[in-house]
Amino acid sequence: MDPGDAVNPQTGEANPYLPEVAANPIPFYERLRDHLPVAMFEGFGRGTWIISRYEDVRWALKHPEIFSSDFVAVDIGQDRPLIPLQIDPPEHAKYRRVIDPTIGPHEVAPLEGELRVVVNDVIDSFIARGSVDAHAEFTVPLPCIVFLSMCGLPLEDLDKLLVWKDNIIRPNTGDPEQDAKVRRATGAALYAYFEDAIDQRRGGSGTDLLTRFLTSEVDGRSMSQEEMLDICYLFVLGGLDTVTSTLDCSLAHLAQDPIQRQLLADDQSIVPAAVEEMLRYHTPVMQILRAVAQPVELHGHKFEVGDTVMLMLGSADTDPTEFGEDASEFDATREVNRHLAFGGGPHRCLGSHLARLELRVALEEWHRRIPDYTVAEGAHLEYSPGIREIVSLPLVFEPVTVAVAE
Amino acid sequence: MMRIHFEPDACVGHGRCYALAPQVFDADDLGHCVVLLSEPPAELADAARLAVASCPEDALTIDE
Ligand code: HEM
Ligand code: SF4
């Protein structure tokens, strides 16, 4: 199937949740923008409107009083609205003022050295083989190890955390009711795990993320246990698969684009720009949701209060009106790049500074050590819709013997 | 002489400005922009222009 066929201008419908679209979304995005700037997606058991042009998406992001985040749009096993994702301004800013500094640019910069060691350890575990499932062995463990280490949690908990994360994001039992049950049970386990970890840190003087939540204040009071738990929950849900999927898309792309790969391997100073271009071109979080809080009109369509709206970040990020005629091409040296892969407006990704650091160091070290690689012959790359992870990413390269330290 | 104008209420901390022109912009502890040199010297002008053009929230403008 051609991904563009997932848009039907006759009926006004579009379906971003097809595997063909996730694997190759650009033709889908193009048809949406050109033919259905307001489209209808009949999924999730109720209709959702899709907005796809750059200026429209940017406008919606900047107007939380119209396009609100204050709803539990998706049941992901959470007990309450997630802080700060599902809280609207002005309340929202209070939390951001507290959480942002714990993970701001100056805060994450010192992690670079440690991160480089982690990345190299992971590469060491497979480089001698000359082949790897880069998803399972590289892009999945990396952000989880970083998260555990930032929270001062033991590395042995890695497998447990990975299972919980997957059970919440994609329980895949095949039965919606059963899915919801798995999510609830896992959510409860995750809350209990962090509750325990936070209790252990009370009165302590550590510098890890959890201890810093304990000593932070919102509106002149310390954060409640619930608030801290909500933030932890969101870090697990928002900070792991997103980085994994960006790295999946990046490695798969470069494995198939030897010219851009060579640019990157030859001159690592372009890695930061290449990271931004990966985020733009692949927009790993394809879309985000909002609820209409005030009646509003766009392209002749009248939105009503309570409507659900999907802001298609991926199509905004490949819109030629913003990115020029070469918007649907990948250019690691693109200069002006106002992509919305981290969202925009008040909810703009809180973890973006950490994410950028992880992506840069991972791509630098990978290409320093494995400059030349391809997708294993016969491999079919399957992308998951919504957050564009690649289910399995078998890569092959020249094996390298790792010197074992004495 | 170029002059940079910054609209703090529009800034949400994309961090494009201080990544692209670190001698002209810095981050505060929230990751929002701090203008270090509102009248950058000629040798930083190109970097400053690129940084301003890269802000997705239009929080930065330049008077030339
Ligand atoms: C490349 C990696 C990442 C991508 C593409 C990404 C993408 C996004 C997007 C699109 C949003 C906006 C959601 C909305 O407006 O509804 C967002 C918000 C958020 N992200 Fe990320 N993210 C990434 C990494 C991370 C990391 C590493 C963390 C945490 C450590 C994180 C934590 C959050 C949080 C807490 C929010 C909610 C902010 C708010 O509502 O104020 N993200 N992210
Ligand atoms: S790029 Fe714009 S929004 Fe981002 S920190 Fe700079 S001024 Fe603020």
Q: CA-to-CA distance for A171 and A154, rounded, in angstroms?
A: 25
φ/ψ bin of A44: left (φ > 0), alpha (ψ from -120 to 50), beta (otherwise)? left
Best residue among B4, B7, B9, B16 to mutate for probing ligand 2, ranked by most atoms within 8 Å of CB: B16
| Residue range A135-170, pLDDT digits in tens | 999 999 999 999 999 999 999 999 999 999 888 888
Give CA–CA dist B3/B64, Å, rounded. Answer: 6
Q: Which residues contact A405 (CB under 8 A, 6 or more apart)?
A: none
Q: DSSP class of residue A127?
A: G
pLDDT digits (tens, 9 = 90+) for A280-324: 999 999 999 999 999 999 999 999 988 999 999 999 999 999 999
Which positions in chain A touch B57 (Cβ < 8 Å)? Answer: 62, 344-345
Query: CB-based burial of residue A170 (10 Å sphere; 0-12 exposed, 13-18 middle, 19+ buried)?
Result: middle
Residue of B nearest to A354 (CA): B31
Find the A71 Cα to ligand 1 centroid distance in Å. Answer: 17
Whether the per-residue pLDDT at B8 is higher than 90: the answer is yes
pLDDT of residue A212: 87
The pLDDT score that the predictor gives to residue A140 is 97
CA neighbor of A292 nearest in space, from A36, A51, A17, A44 = A51
Give the distance (Å) from ligand 1 centre to CA of residue A239: 7
Residue B59 CA to ligand 2 centre (angstroms): 6
Query: What's the confidence (pLDDT) of residue A77?
Result: 54
**Is the predicted ipTM greater than 0.85, yes or no?**
yes
CA distances in angstroms from A200 to A152, A188, A189, A212, A309, listed in the order given: 11, 18, 17, 13, 41
Q: Which ligand is nearest to the CA of A283?
A: 1
Asked if B31 and A97 come within 8 Å (Cβ–Cβ), the reply is no
Contact indicator for A235, A351 with CB cutoff of 8 Å: yes
What are the residue ranges in chain A where pLDDT is below 70?
44, 71-80, 404-406
* Nearest CB neighbour to A97, from listed B12, B30, B50: B30
What's the confidence (pLDDT) of residue A74? 46
Mutate to test the interface with B, among A337, A350, A357 (most CBs of B within 10 A): A337
CA–centroid distance, A38 to ligand 2, in Å, is 29
Q: Do A344 and B12 touch (CB under 8 A)?
A: yes
pLDDT of A73: 44
How confident is the model at residue A79, as a pLDDT? 60
| Contact criterion met (CB < 8 Å) for B54 and A100 | no
A interface toward B at CB cutoff 8 Å? 58, 62, 96-97, 100-101, 104-107, 272, 335-340, 342, 344-346, 348, 352-353, 356
Please indicate whether residue B60, judged by its CB atom, sits closer than 6 Å to ligand 2.
Answer: yes
